[in-house]
């Protein structure tokens, strides 16, 4: 299937060669990633994964305008999961590292759902972890409950739906994500929030950052990741293309966010709020992509 949809959005069904990718990151807290799709329609302007466009002959500016469902993902997973020792005991599979497993096309293709069913069928004994911006994950709540070790994270960068829409163009509004986190928590699913990237205005508006932490806490979340903005050249180029209406003063804040002084100042505020709300800060520090790379 090949389809150019609204505004040139490209959907192409593909056959993948493998579906479990072993982590190569130093100090990563997962062993394998599973990406049922190539590309992501949410088109977040700050997305670090936009570099993946170059891997298939596209430009980083094309990120968000194409999605290739790996239609054989469940069958591949069924084969590859059987190769793990002790049914994967002690291993962590992450959905997903370079796409959102619950982007809109998941409602049609159900590849993530089918992969969950494969893991359950094979009695996977490791941990399944998710990071998404979509409340569509609630569709699979009954499947999630069948895993002994599972946790679900939502990316939360603001408490304002208009801000989330500006930077995360086609993702569900942040209010829906916070509501989904609360539902998952109330249903007994372990949850976490990914506060990343930290938007630059938080240095000048610490109360906004406190409000963000407060809303996450009210959703029942007790563990968080926090990450500074990565403004690598390919991301900066993409953002300039997508955010042509952004005020010059705001752009200046984005540039300032790359300085060590900025990160130190904001890091102090993050540490205060982590202590204030009693969060567990995963990785024990506010992450910075360039350091991780």
Domain ranges of the chain: 2-292
Centre a 10 Å sphere on the Cβ of residue 293 and count the other Cβ atoms it contains.
10
Q: HSE, CB side, 13 Å, CA atoms: give it for residue 213.
A: 24
Residue 11 has pLDDT above 50, yes or no: yes
Task: Say which residue, 166 or 280, is predicted with more confidence.
Answer: 280
Centre a 10 Å sphere on the Cβ of residue 279 and count the other Cβ atoms it contains.
21
pLDDT given at position 288: 85
Q: Write the CA distances from 48 to 221, 227, 255, integer angstroms.
A: 25, 12, 16
Measured CA to CA, the distance from residue 63 to residue 47 in angstroms comes to 9
Measured CA to CA, the distance from residue 119 to residue 92 in angstroms comes to 12
3 state SS of 57:
coil
pLDDT given at position 109: 98
Burial of residue 163 (number of CB atoms within 10 Å: 0-12, 13-18, 19+): middle
Q: Per residue in 185-221, pLDDT tens?
A: 999 999 999 999 998 777 678 799 999 999 999 999 9
Confidence of residue 290 (pLDDT cuts 50, 70, 90): low
Is the Cα dihedral 42, 45, 47, 48 positive or negative? positive
Mean of the pLDDT values across residues 62-87?
96
Measured CA to CA, the distance from residue 169 to residue 42 in angstroms comes to 6
Please report, to the nearest 10 degrees, the dihedral formed by the alpha carbons of residues 277, 280, 284, 285 taken in order. -40
CATH architecture for segment(s) 2-292: Alpha-Beta Horseshoe (3.80)
Please choose, from the candidates 147, 286, 168, 152, the residue with its C-alpha nearest in 3D space to the C-alpha of residue 221: 152
Q: Per residue in 92-137, pLDDT tens?
A: 999 999 999 999 999 999 999 999 999 999 999 999 999 999 999 9
Longest dimension (CA), the chain: 56
Q: Do 1 and 11 contact (CB within 8 A), yes or no?
A: yes
pLDDT given at position 7: 59
Residue 20 has pLDDT above 50, yes or no: yes
Confidence of residue 293 (pLDDT cuts 50, 70, 90): very low
Task: Say which residue, 66 or 53, is predicted with more confidence.
Answer: 66
pLDDT given at position 25: 78
Q: Name 100's Cβ contacts closer than 8 Å, sequence gap at least 6.
A: 37, 40, 42, 132, 133, 134, 171
Q: Do 36 and 13 contact (CB within 8 A), yes or no?
A: no
Confidence of residue 80 (pLDDT cuts 50, 70, 90): very high
Confidence of residue 15 (pLDDT cuts 50, 70, 90): very high
Residue 2 has pLDDT above 70, yes or no: no
Parallel, antiparallel, or unpaired for β 20-22 and 150-155?
unpaired
Contacts of 160-167 with CB under 8 Å at 24 or more apart are 163/199, 166/243, 167/44, 167/45, 167/46, 167/199
Q: Name 226's Cβ contacts closer than 8 Å, sequence gap at least 6.
A: 195, 196, 198, 270, 274, 281, 286, 287
Confidence of residue 71 (pLDDT cuts 50, 70, 90): very high
Q: Per residue in 148-174, pLDDT tens?
A: 999 999 999 999 999 888 889 999 999
Q: What is the pTM of this model?
A: 0.91
């Amino acid at each position: 299937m090949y389809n150019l949809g609204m505004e040139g959005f490209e959907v192409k069904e593909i056959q993948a060669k493998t579906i479990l990718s072993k982590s190569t990151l130093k100090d990563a807290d997962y062993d394998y990633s599973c990406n049922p799709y190539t590309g992501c329609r949410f088109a977040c302007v700050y997305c670090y994964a936009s570099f993946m466009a170059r891997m298939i002959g596209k430009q980083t500016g094309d990120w968000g305008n194409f999605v290739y469902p790996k239609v054989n993902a469940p069958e591949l997973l069924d084969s590859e999961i059987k190769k793990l020792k002790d049914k994967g005991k002690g291993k962590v599979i992450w959905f997903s590292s370079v796409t959102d497993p619950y982007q809109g096309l998941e409602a049609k293709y159900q590849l993530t759902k089918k992969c969950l069913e494969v893991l359950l069928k094979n009695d996977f004994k490791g941990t399944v972890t998710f990071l998404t911006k979509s409340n569509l994950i609630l569709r699979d709540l009954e499947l999630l409950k069948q895993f002994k070790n599972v946790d679900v994270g939502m990316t939360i960068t603001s408490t304002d739906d208009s801000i989330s829409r500006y930077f995360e163009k086609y993702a569900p509004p942040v209010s829906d994500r916070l509501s989904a986190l609360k539902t998952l928590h109330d249903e007994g699913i372990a949850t976490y929030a990914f506060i990343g990237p930290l938007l630059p205005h938080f240095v000048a508006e610490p109360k906004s950052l406190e409000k963000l932490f407060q809303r996450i806490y009210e959703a029942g979340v007790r563990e968080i990741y926090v990450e500074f903005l990565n403004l690598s050249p390919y991301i900066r180029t993409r953002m300039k293309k997508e955010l042509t209406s952004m005020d010059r003063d705001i752009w200046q804040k984005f540039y300032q966010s790359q300085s060590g002084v900025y990160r130190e100042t904001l890091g102090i505020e993050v540490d205060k709020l982590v202590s204030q709300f009693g969060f567990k800060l995963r990785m024990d520090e506010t992450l910075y992509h360039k350091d991780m790379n």
